[in-house]
Structure 1
Amino acid sequence: MDVQRQFPTVHWIWGGGISFVYEVHPLIVVKVPKSGEFEREQFHKELEIYRIFAQNRPCPSIVQCFLFSDNGIFLEYMRDMSLSSRIQKNHVRDQETMVVTKVEKLEPLSLRKEWMNDLAEAVAFLESLNLAHGDLRPENILLDRNRLKLSDFDCAAEIGTNYEACMAPYGRILNSNDVDQGECGTFGFLSPRTEQFALGSLFYLINYGFEVYGDRCLTEDPYEHGPKVVDLLQNMEFPKLDGDPLIDSVIKKCWHHKYVTVSELAAHTKRLLHERTDPAGSNGEGNREEGNNGLKSPVKLSFIVWWRMVMGRLIHGVWHGLVKLWTSLSHRTKGKVAITERAQDDNPDDVDRNLEEEFLSKRGVCLDLERRGLLRLLCSGEPEQIGFTFDWYRHSL
């Protein structure tokens, strides 16, 4: 039977390292393993992680799973590009050296902070399950418009196991000073150290618009650039941080393993969402003012940040008081019925119930497709062999 007649809503949209991805619904995709032994082994590792996720309350910063079986994982459709593609589309590069010579634009500061916190909370969720992602890099971070979520858990493993899937600048080889982290010359063990180091480099990418050392030519031969970055990171040599001071402090602490846990880091990034930052640093161009060669002294900068934070909280307090007074008067005017209706609107139980109904509806779609033999069909051969043509990131909406 013609696959397009049997399953007209299914489209092949992506081929990853270990799996093929198909759109099965405007809001749902399914990952099926490739036929190789290694690919199926990695796929089943990811299945085990989703089994663990299914026993816990879902994390909003992780791509949601609706149904899984040995032959497929039905997932939330993140309909836009990966973080890697989103960042790279703003690059101007030297075509010979591939060095980033210009960043056309950065994402808004408020969105960058949200992304930082989303990533930290996703990894903190894994940590709460005694797991580490093990492959934190921009290709494994997906976007749906401006919503960001962590994906691809085939390298996830228990904290304390060997750190295997690692690539600079999101991983770092240990040096002789890294006692009790693992053997010198290896990536060591999965731990808060490895996860926060990767997050620090991801935060750098988000806020500077290029990867660590991606804006400079380190070697004459472009092919030697990567190994040079590996050496620099092993020696704890990092690029200068001259952007937003509050964000830079988080990046630096991640690189130097200053957070005891990723949960501690997530608490810091959450506070960052509500802290005012220096406008000169919000565009990634550093903190500058006239005089003193354009540089602020650390003491003066700290005072300015402190003063703005105090004033911001004062203004927020006054505004909050006025809003509260207005709301109180409004409620008195409208009577008890209005108060009751407002309480019902804000009832978290209603929100949870709606989310549960939405989840069950999507799960029902997945169960129906599985019963009709979709997974068996998709695993029967390569996409072209079973009648699919490649349809890059097709959007049905």
Structure 2
Amino acid sequence: MLYSKHCQSDFDGYEKVQELGNGAYGKVYLVRKDGELFALKTVPKGIFNDLSEQQLQKEIQIHKKLVHTNIIKLHSYYQDRQHVHMLMEYADGGSLYQKHLTLDEVQEYFTQICNGIYYLHSNNIIHRDLKPENILLKNNVIKLCDFGWSAEVGYNKQRDTLCGTIDYMAPEVSQGKYSFKVDTWSLGIILYEMIHHSVPANPRKYNCPELVQDLIEKLLVPQDERLNITEVLKHPYVKQGQEERQSVLSEHSLNFSKYQVEGLELFNELDVYLEQQDRAIIRMTDIFKPRQSRKVAEQQVTQQTPKKSFFNTILDTLGCMNRKQNQIISMINNSFRKTLVGYLHPFSWLSFYYNVSTSPQSESISPRARIMRPSKQKFNISFKEFAKHCQRLKEDEQSEITKHINLIPPATSNEIQEFINSNKIEGNISNIAKDFEFLPAEYQQILISKKITTPTPIQKAIFPLILEGRDVIAIAETGSGKTLAYALPGIIHSQAQPKVLGPRILVLAPTRELAQQIQSQYELFTRTCCVYGGVFKNLQYSEILGIKESRNKINLPSVIISTPGRLLDFMKDGLPLNSITQVVLDEADRMLDMGFEDQITQILSAVRDDRQTLFFSATWPNEVQRLANSLCNQDPIMIQLGEQGLSVNKNIQQEVIIVYENKFEKFAELTDRLKGQKLLIFCQKKLDTQKLEYRLSIHGLKARYLHGDLKQAERDQIMVEFKSGAINCLITTNLASRGLDVSDVDVVINYDFPDTIEDYIHRIGRTGRAGKKGQAISLLEPAFFNNRLKNDLVQVLQQSDQVIPQELSSLRL
């Protein structure tokens, strides 16, 4: 009979959400209890014979002992009359099967798989059924699962059971004598499949990057020549993955640059020993659980652990793992001691129990105790502090808005007319700003430092209207300098108002990237805060409270830049907008496309009625017209810069290439032609960006993909690398088609042509910005094109004085 750890009542209260899988031996369900998700494996007893019952019992007995970051946790298990139930950790990222990964992801995930296998082998367990379907992902952390064929093997012992999956099975399994190296054979097959999405068909012809090729060739060989898992961990490819990979707990800012194979071996064995002694509180996976009280943890371990020499503890640990102590002593030389100490440095509060310093700079092991805890959030503002701040903002007195600010000298009627004619401007323009002389001297110096010496046409037209206090609707091509067109007069507007605690300007943007780009412009001149989704809300309280450098140095923001959804979250928490006197809606058409109309209306209803409202967009569809008319409290002045309707920056040279087949080959030739230039490449689907990154990396391009499924920190880091030139090729979706401000993009490539001409305009507008020249190349597949899109494209090419390819004109769809 199977051992039952829990009674049936322990499984009460679990709500079945959906079925995750259905196999030959049972089903797996997604279940929920108290808001937490689990995977419940249910095996019917009707399928059991004596052998399969013993196998399931063995699976449970093995799995319940395994506690490691890269292994799915078995929480509990129970049997009733009809079924055996196993409650396990839920991995929401699915399996590696048929996942398209970048080379960096392959290296990172393979390294984690090796760590998990090392842990199993260190505990004398062979998996025997390693395959992508049994390798899961949870928050980008690998989780090994399905231990149905796993077995415990003694030292120098062999197994003879024929088991596993044929594509990943080592040749010696069929011969009946094998041991731990069957798992490293499977690792070779999996590594190949992670790169090529199929198992190797031709032995010894792997066509992989050099280090990968070398590792696979050392794994897919007879078992006498094959690497064991310790040797795999020491291979340059895996060691490089260990060094480059930040911890799987990267959100806690750990640095694993000292991560070494020797340190990993020793720490894993120490981890096993402490787990056996019921001291799981100091496991790496438990130390950083957000709900774990550090103080309680220290007290518990201090009470349970006797003070002893750190290395004596290690010797005891390794001794209990049946290792010869004289071999261990020879390993512990000065360099190894420093390696181990460097590895344990992030967990250096453990030094308290072992009277050892764990500073990675230490030349020797100091007997002096040091307690160093992982750093906490620098400014962790509580909701109570935020609520108090909101209450103070509500107490701000409302006063009359100073709208009309007379700073710009009047231009002559001839100058105004000449400006209108030369820039094809439509709208009621009564004055223009010919230069930046009306700005304070320090602002002018900032602009000069940024090599901005003359206003752009949109800025010349808009500056006077905003300073006159008018509501404005501005339609202008991308890259025309719209952000500074409203930011500079907006800052002057805010400074002219009576001083209050709260912000004076609110800017709404559709995406995080655009919000951050807008903030970078405002921050040149004034204090700002930028809030958006994708990060924990409580981490942005400090932004709103103006705490950026120190709690003792509070600079309340005068400008809030936000996405609509996140601002509503803060409003529900009590943030008032009664101090706002100017509202800017940037990319208003995009916000409507994304379904933000109700949120925008709700937000503006909380702002005073006599505010100044500014709309900025590259297009002017009926929906935006309707929204503008409903939200403006005075008759707005509409300014149209360039052609009515669709307009493109004429500084962008546009090229259209018709592609019937071999699309990537044509694209590869194109990238060879553009080598050395900064490229922004657009695809229609998120998955395609990842595929293209992989294919380009094989061709030697430093490429990264960017799409909405990435975490905010990842997106920020990719943008930093692209702007700095660390990578010269960014592959993205329409996420980056609006608001992305990288001033030195040389070429925009539409690898997939967009569905609408509006998206085309916004995409190619990422180059040729701020008066610079740019180039846009579009690969057009007739099978995914239609006559309407063709006519719109021809119209755009004509308006921007581009050559229309004869092949496009004669294209029959």
TM-score, normalised to structure 2, is: 0.26
Residue in structure 1 matched with residue 203 of structure 2 by the alignment: 238
SS in 1 for 2:97: helix
Rounded Cα–Cα distance in structure 1 between residues aligned with 2:116 and 2:203: 25
1:252, CA displacement in angstroms? 0.9
Counterpart pick for 1:63 among 69, 72, 78: 72
Distance 2:187 2:61 in 1: 24
Write out aligned runs for 1:130-169 (5 A).
Answer: 130-144=124-138, 146-159=140-153, 160-169=158-167
User: Which residue number corresponds to residue 289 of structure 1?
Assistant: none
Structure-1 residue corresponding to 2:239: 271
Q: What residue in structure 2 maps to residue 34 of structure 1?
A: 44
Matched, 1:73 2:71: no
Which of 93, 102, 107 lines up with 2:101 in the alignment?
Answer: 107
What do the CA deviations read for 1:47-68 (whole angstroms, capped 9, x no partner)?
A: 1112332xxxx21111112223
For 1:364-379, list aligned pairs within 5 A.
Answer: none
Paired with 1:253 and 1:240, the residues of 2 have a C-alpha distance of 13
In the TM superposition, 1:3-42 aligns within 5 A as 8-25=15-32, 26-35=36-45, 36-38=47-49, 40-42=53-55
The structure-2 alpha-carbon separation of the partners of 1:44 and 1:10, relative to structure 1 and needing over 3 Å to count, comes to farther
Summarize the alignment of residues 151-190 of structure 1 with structure 2, pairs less than 5 Å apart: 151-159=145-153, 160-174=158-172, 186-190=174-178
Identity, % of aligned positions: 23
> Contact (CA 8 Å) 1:166, 1:187: kept in 2 or not?
no
Asked whether the equivalents of residues 170 and 197 of structure 1 are also in contact (C-alpha less than 8 Å), the reply is: yes
Counterpart Cα distance in 1 of 2:234 and 2:37: 31
CA pair 275-242 structure 1, distance change in 2 beyond 3 A = farther
Alignment of 1:217-366 (within 5 A): 238-256=203-221, 257=223, 258-268=225-235, 270-273=238-241, 343-346=372-375
CA deviations 1:31-75 (Å, max 9, x no partner) are 12122114544322211112332xxxx211111122234432211
Q: Whole-Å Cα distance in 2 between the matches of residues 163 and 113 of structure 1? A: 32
> 1:212 is matched with which residue: 197, 200, 207?
200
In 2, distance between residues paired with 1:261 and 1:69?
Answer: 36
Q: Give 1:79 deviation, angstroms.
A: 1.8
**What is the Cα deviation at residue 145 of structure 1?**
5.3
SS of 2:186's equivalent in the other structure is: helix
Cα distance change of structure 1 residues 154 and 245 upon mapping to structure 2, 3 Å threshold: same
Aligned residue pairs total 223
Could you say which residue in structure 2 is the equivalent of 1:217? none
Q: Judge conservation of contact 1:204–1:251 (CA < 8 Å) in 2.
A: yes
Match of 1:126 in 2: 120
Report Cα offsets for 1:68-101 as digits up to 9, x if no partner.
3443221110123321242xxxxxxxxxxxxxxx
CA RMSD of aligned residues (A): 2.9
Query: How many angstroms apart in 2 are the aligned matches of 1:69 and 1:8?
Result: 17
Distance apart, 1:6 and its partner CA: 7.1
| Cα distance in 2 between the residues matched to 1:127 and 1:110 | 26
| Distance change in 2, residues 1:41/1:81 (3 Å) | same
Judged with a 3 Å threshold, the aligned counterparts in structure 2 of structure 1 residues 67 and 8 are, in CA distance, closer, same or farther, namely closer
Cα deviation for residue 8 of structure 1 reads 3.9
Name the SS for the 1:205 alignment partner: helix
- Residues 124 and 275 (structure 1), Cα distance of their counterparts in 2 relative to 1, 3 Å cut: closer
SS at match of 1:243: coil
2:680 aligns with none
Conserved? CA contact 1:46–1:156, under 8 Å: yes
8 Å Cα contact 2:218-2:227 kept in structure 1: no
| In 2, Cα distance between equivalents of 1:247 and 1:206 | 11
Deviations 1:215-262 (A, max 9, x none): xxxxxxxxxxxxxxxxxxxxxx61412221011111111112445531
In structure 1, stretches of 5+ residues that fail to align are: 87-105, 175-181, 214-236, 277-341, 348-397
Closer, same or farther in 2 for the Cα pair 1:189/1:122, shift >3 Å? farther
* Counterparts of 1:274 and 1:79, CA distance in 2: 24
TM-score (norm 1): 0.50
Q: Tell me how far 1:10 sits from its aligned partner.
A: 4.6
1:266–1:83 distance in 2 versus 1, CA, 3 Å: same
Q: Deviations over 1:181-239 (max 9, x none)?
A: x8xxx2433423211111100011012222222xxxxxxxxxxxxxxxxxxxxxxx614
Deviations 1:161-187 (A, max 9, x none): 22422333311334xxxxxxx8xxx24
1:272-299, CA deviations, whole angstroms, 9 ceiling, x for partnerless residues? Answer: 31679xxxxxxxxxxxxxxxxxxxxxxx
- 1:41-56 to 2 correspondence within 5 Å? 41-53=54-66
**Is the Cα contact below 8 Å between 1:201 and 1:212 reproduced in 2?**
yes
Secondary structure of residue in 1 paired with 2:30: strand
Gaps of 5+ in 2: 1-11, 245-370, 377-813
